[in-house]
Amino acid sequence: MAEPPSVVSFLSDYGTRDEFVGVCKAVMMRLAAGVVIVDVTHDVAPFDVRAGSLTLARAAQYLPPGVILAVIDPTVGTARRAIAVEVETGFLVGPDNGLLAPAVAMLGGASRAVSLTNTDYHIEAAGPTFAGRDIFAPAAATLATGVELFDLGDPIDVHGLMPSILPLTRPHGDGIGGEVLWIDRFGNAQLNVEPDELSQLGFSVGAAIEVKVRDQTRLARWVDTFADARPAELVALVDSYGLIALALNQASAAEALHLQANTPVNLSPPS
């Protein structure tokens, strides 16, 4: 079993304009004296489970051992389960809607899981709608204090957790059909394409790649780092997570190409 953790890493779509995040933290601090809380981000777009799951997966390997609390919960109040999942480095707590799945996989898979049905660990509230405050944060804090996982609710099958639907690439003409996973703050567009997939097409660093987005066609040069891009030159590079990203040097590739998450992007040899 994992060591009793005392760090909670926290991700949500709560934003920071309301008191939601502060209240969840306060709840955890009251239940787990001395707990340390790390904000992964709270600015995931409202209800965007896919974006949140990818953000969590990118962060997971760097987070301290302990508890990961993730709340993006568009179907709060339905039959979707509230769960806690044990992994080698600790626990993940959140709704069973696919949000946790990629991070669980990144952390080596689930060993045990429960549905958070034990109401002794819930906070009573005037209304039914704030599961972060009343169910998830208390569960995360409780696990952080070392309470046994199975005390929090009914054991569930780790193979029955909601999976995440991550897009696969597919062959497209003499190239590869992918899509945008993530636009970061600087406008870099991470694709679901691995460098090996480009290598197998015969590309190597320095090569020109034809990039097709909707009805636009542009050339990108495969470079090692942002700084290798000439002003306004579109480049492809291996980003800090090991995936291919489209980028401009000190400018936004997403703006220039009208890219957003999910936009299909085809890469092929120049025609």
| Distance, CA of 77 to chain centre | 23
* 142 is a contact residue toward its own copies (CB under 8 A): no
- Minimum Å distance from CB 133 to its own copies? 7
- Minimum Å distance from CB 159 to its own copies? 26
Which part of the chain contacts its own copies (CB under 8 A), choosing from 4-12, 112-120, 156-164, 258-266?
4-12
**Radius of gyration, alpha carbons of the chain:** 21
* 18 is a contact residue toward its own copies (CB under 8 A): yes
For residue 238, what are its two tokens? 């291996």
Residue of 105, 205, 207, 238 interacting with its own copies (CB under 8 A): 238
* 261 is a contact residue toward its own copies (CB under 8 A): no
* 75 is a contact residue toward its own copies (CB under 8 A): yes
Which part of the chain contacts its own copies (CB under 8 A), choosing from 20-28, 107-115, 148-156, 263-271?
20-28
* 220 is a contact residue toward its own copies (CB under 8 A): no
Residue of 219, 224, 255, 258 interacting with its own copies (CB under 8 A): 224
* 181 is a contact residue toward its own copies (CB under 8 A): no
Residue of 115, 158, 201, 228 interacting with its own copies (CB under 8 A): 228
- Minimum Å distance from CB 167 to its own copies? 19
Task: Please give the Cα distance from 101 to 176 (Å, whole number).
Answer: 26
Interface ranges with its own copies (CB under 8 A): 7, 9, 11, 13-23, 25-27, 29-30, 36, 38-44, 46-47, 55-56, 58-59, 62-64, 74-78, 125-130, 133-134, 182, 184-186, 224-228, 237-242, 250
